[in-house]
Amino acid sequence: MPDLSWLTARPIAHRGLHDLNRTRWENTLAAFSAAIDQGYAIECDVHLSADRVPMLFHDERLDRLTGTGGCIWERTASELQALRIGGTEEHIPTLEEMLALVDGRVPIVIELKGSRAEGLVEEVVHRLAAYPGPVALMSFEHELIRDLERHAGVIPYGLTAESRGLEEHKQHFHMLGHGISFVSYSIADLPNAFVRHVRNELSMPVITWTVRDEADVRRTFEHADQMTFEGFMPSLKSGMANEQ
């Protein structure tokens, strides 16, 4: 098991330290810079462009964040970079742009996204090969977890999960056999038997998503090890602070 003490050492800014998309939008270089300035770890989302470039963007569709129709996987990286986020001057960044900005100053947790994700793991792992800082990968998609088992090498990776029913819960246990070294779990679904097993029997770290209020902070540290947060500024030693 890799040493993941860095993963739980500080709060993790969900999609960077955005301000709920008022002026500083999610998964932008501005949001990542703000997280670095405050000393938070960064969570971000990655899709592949049409020309197989990892792009930092949460949704499959472009509409909500860019006002443009279509899906992210239908456009090339240069076409995506020409779009603007939320009417600001911020563009959709490549993974390489974000890595150059962070440069090891804070930890990064990258969620691999997308139903059209063939080759995503290989492209991301390739770009992380020479990265100097702490970084981990994770995904909801079980096929991507299997790809990570084949291709991640020494890069730690984890399962992103929530509880929707008994069959899905069983699948979470099944994924423990595919080399994961941490779990990122929905705060709304804690506590549960899977997370208790992961922490107590396997000594594996658990982070939560997405923490937005004091009750969620308390629940995180009762049942998990660190939080992925948005909408407020937690102390680096955890806990609540002023809203953004």
Q: What is the pLDDT of residues 31-51, one digit of tens each?
A: 999 999 999 999 999 999 999
Q: What is the mean pLDDT of the chain?
A: 95
Question: Look-up: residue for tokens 């670095």?
Answer: 36
pLDDT of res. 240: 54
pLDDT at residue 244 greater than cutoff 70: no
pLDDT of res. 71: 96
pLDDT at residue 68 greater than cutoff 60: yes
- Classify domain 5-229 by CATH architecture: Alpha-Beta Barrel (3.20)
pLDDT of res. 165: 80
Nearest-angstrom CA–CA distance, 43 and 58: 11
Q: pLDDT, tens digit, for every residue of 152-208?
A: 999 999 999 999 788 888 999 999 999 999 999 999 999 999 999 999 999 999 999
The amino acid at residue 225 is D
For 45, the 3-state DSSP assignment is strand
Copy the structure tokens of residue 150: 């084949």
pLDDT of res. 115: 67
Q: What percent of the chain has pLDDT over 90?
A: 91
pLDDT of res. 239: 53
Q: How far apart are the first and last CA of the chain?
A: 37
> pLDDT-derived band of residue 238, with 50, 70 and 90 as boundaries?
low
- Rounded mean pLDDT of 123-151? 97
- Rounded mean pLDDT of 218-243? 86
Q: Which residues pair with 159 in a beta bridge?
A: 139, 183
Q: pLDDT, tens digit, for every residue of 80-125?
A: 999 999 999 999 999 999 999 999 999 999 999 976 778 999 999 9
Chain Cα centroid distance, residue 223: 20
pLDDT of res. 117: 77
pLDDT at residue 15 greater than cutoff 60: yes
For 1, the 3-state DSSP assignment is coil
Nearest to 226 by CA among 194, 190, 184, 198: 184
Nearest to 12 by CA among 102, 109, 117: 109
Domain ranges of the chain: 5-229
155 neighbors 178 (Cβ within 8 angstroms): no
Interstrand relation of 226-229 and 12-14 (parallel, antiparallel or unpaired): parallel
Nearest-angstrom CA–CA distance, 228 and 38: 15
Nearest-angstrom CA–CA distance, 56 and 106: 17
Its sign, for the CA torsion 184, 185, 187, 191, is negative
